Amino acid sequence: MRNLKICIAYNGTAYHGWQRQNNNITVQQIIEECIGRITDSKVTVHGCSRTDAGVHAREFCFSFTTQSAVPCHGLMRAMNAMLPDDIAVLSCEEAPEDFHARFSAKGKEYVYLVNNAPQKDPFGYKLALFYPYKLDEKRLGKAAQLFVGTHDFAAFCKAEAKEHLATTVRTVWDMRVARSGDTVSFTVSGDGFLHNMVRIIVGTLIYINEGKRTEDDILRSLETGQRDIAGITIPPHGLYLNKVFYTERETKEHENT
């Protein structure tokens, strides 16, 4: 029995998230059906995360066990030939027997993209949030530092999701806000993320930009866990799972940025 680790990239526009569902098309379903056809077997893959509907991934890893003898390079080539154009296999490798794409992950990095142009983009409107009002990336970058560190992020989590969690404490290693032309990116890395956590963090920063929240509200929301003190949950289509970390070296590099 082989244990394989595969990394993919995908545009999540056409999918109802990663995790297989009964009544909606998901990335996991497409992947499992594709591998099943290649290996002539029923396959269950384990993803590194559960991205929501409309969320994208520049690097998403999954693992699965198989008795198939198809070599990694052959499996990768066959998958890329069979998968739809909005999903691409980036790498495929043999993994240790105890490797699990989710439980072996030591951290992740997400990026949220905002199109901060005065007019909308008819070609990339599902790849970034259109926000025509001027964003002060320097001020927001400074405010974003308040999220760095180990905190209880209960105020930055979807309410229903908290009921199934042992803890809402997470550690954010680094957060940056940067501008490139009309695109403003919010990049955050940490040891783990709650449901909607990044989207609420960015929504809170946008509310600060609009004068609807202050830096003190960030501190109060972290201290009290009250969801209404934080900002809105912004739409999913600007969010990208950018990187998954599996080694101590990678985590240390981001902890020290």
Return the exposure string of 119-142: e unless at least 16 CB atoms fall within 10 Å of the residue's CB, then b.
Answer: eeeeeeebbbbbbeeebebeebbe
For the chain, the straight-line distance linking the first and the last C-alpha, in angstroms and rounded, comes to 40
Beta carbons of 53 and 239 less than 8 angstroms apart: no
In the set 52, 174, 191, 217, the catalytic residue is 52
One-letter amino acid at 150 equals: T
The number of CA neighbours under 13 Å toward the Cβ of 11 is: 11
Catalytic site residue 217? no
Separation CA 60–CA 84 (nearest Å): 16
Q: Which residues are catalytic?
A: 52
